[in-house]
Amino acid sequence: MPLGGLVPLGDGGRMGNVIAFVPASGGVGASTLAAAVSVRAAAAGRSVVAVDLDHLSGCLDIVFGLEQQPGWRWPELDDVAGVVDGLGLADELPVSCGVPVLSGRGGLGWEAPADGEGDRWAECLPDVVAGLADAHDLTVLDLPRGGSVLAAVALLVDAVVVVSGTQVPQLAATSAVVPGVRGVLRRLRDARRAWEAEPLLPIEPWVVLRGDRVEPDLEDLVMDELDVPVVATVGDDRRLTAEVAEGLPPGARGRGEVVRAADELLLRLVDQAIAA
């Protein structure tokens, strides 16, 4: 049973990068983009694992077409104690396009933690993510909008991508989510800096805009107003519908708007790692 017992890892002990995706509002395709990044990294020969951290509406099993496939889901990790054996855990997970996926049971989500259990679940998250990151080149996290889950794993992430729609209500939501994400990252990393011999590098949220058509003026406005980089845009992508109909995860065919955005994110992540 690939659980528990390992010595907790320091930030410098991890082999791979961790990238987290946060939706600024519902229906903007954060899970789709997270899946595409995972698939594209695997296609490039990287070892990748995708992790669903949304208890209420997690759907990575469905996005990857794995909802009927056997394998471990979060309920099998109820007894986690200590950093997991990332390779052992990955061997137990359902796989699509070379990407092991840790998600809710059957892709239909899973029950939210009962009173008192939410804290225990949050406590085990860093142990699961750290173990997987130690064993893979890239760990992709699909997060909910709330800040508590991000806070549980913030010290492990190398990049946080906020996915935003382009309609006025969606942009208004983004203007609230981005400062919240920035605040979580800065508070925790500042606290770590106070006692860590080698402080963590500060990171800022990245924004991806997704809409039928994303105008350059809108990109400039978002960057100016929120003081964040718009690292990619995703226009209408009809290929996704065809891929879903065939049970393929986003990016499996290697073409389209989502693939282009996923590749841009991966290149940016690599450049950041080299610069560090």
- Span 214-259, pLDDT tens digits: 888 999 999 999 999 999 999 888 778 777 778 889 989 888 999 9
- Span 28-65, pLDDT tens digits: 999 999 999 999 999 999 999 999 998 766 689 899 99
Q: Which residue has the tokens 């995706």?
A: 21
Dihedral, CA of residue 270, residue 255, residue 164 and residue 31, to nearest 10:
-80
- Residue 191 in any domain: the answer is yes
Partners of 95 in the β-ladder: 100
What CATH code is carried by the domain that includes residue 161? Answer: 3.40.50.300
For residue 44, the one-letter residue type is A
At 81 the pLDDT is: 81
| C-alpha radius of gyration, the chain, whole number | 18
- Residue 1 in any domain: the answer is no
For residue 107, the one-letter residue type is G
Q: Which two structure tokens, joined as six digits, stand for 221?
A: 């406005």
70, 116 contact by CB (below 8 A): no
Domain that holds residue 138: 11-275
Q: CA–CA separation, 119 vs 113, rounded Å?
A: 9
- Span 186-211, pLDDT tens digits: 887 666 544 454 545 558 899 999 99
- Residue 182 in any domain: the answer is yes
Sort 166 into a burial class: Cβ within 10 Å, 0-12 / 13-18 / 19+.
Answer: buried
Q: CA–CA separation, 72 vs 120, rounded Å?
A: 19
Residue 3 scores a pLDDT above 60: no
* Predicted model pTM: 0.88
Q: Is the dihedral of CA 36, 42, 45, 46 positive or negative?
A: positive
Q: Which of 98-112, 128-142, 156-170, 190-204 has the lowest mean pLDDT?
A: 190-204
- Residue 4 in any domain: the answer is no
82, 4 contact by CB (below 8 A): yes
- Residue 6 in any domain: the answer is no
Q: CA–CA separation, 198 vs 162, rounded Å?
A: 27
Please count the structural domains in the chain: 1
For residue 17, the one-letter residue type is N
**Closest-CA residue to 60 (of 97, 125, 132, 108):** 108
- Span 113-142, pLDDT tens digits: 555 455 566 778 899 999 999 999 999 999
Average pLDDT of the residues in 83-98: 95
- Residue 2 in any domain: the answer is no
- Residue 199 in any domain: the answer is yes
- Treating both helix axes as pointing N-terminal to C-terminal, what angle do 30-43 and 257-275 enclose, rounded to 10 degrees? 70
- Treating both helix axes as pointing N-terminal to C-terminal, what angle do 216-226 and 168-195 enclose, rounded to 10 degrees? 40
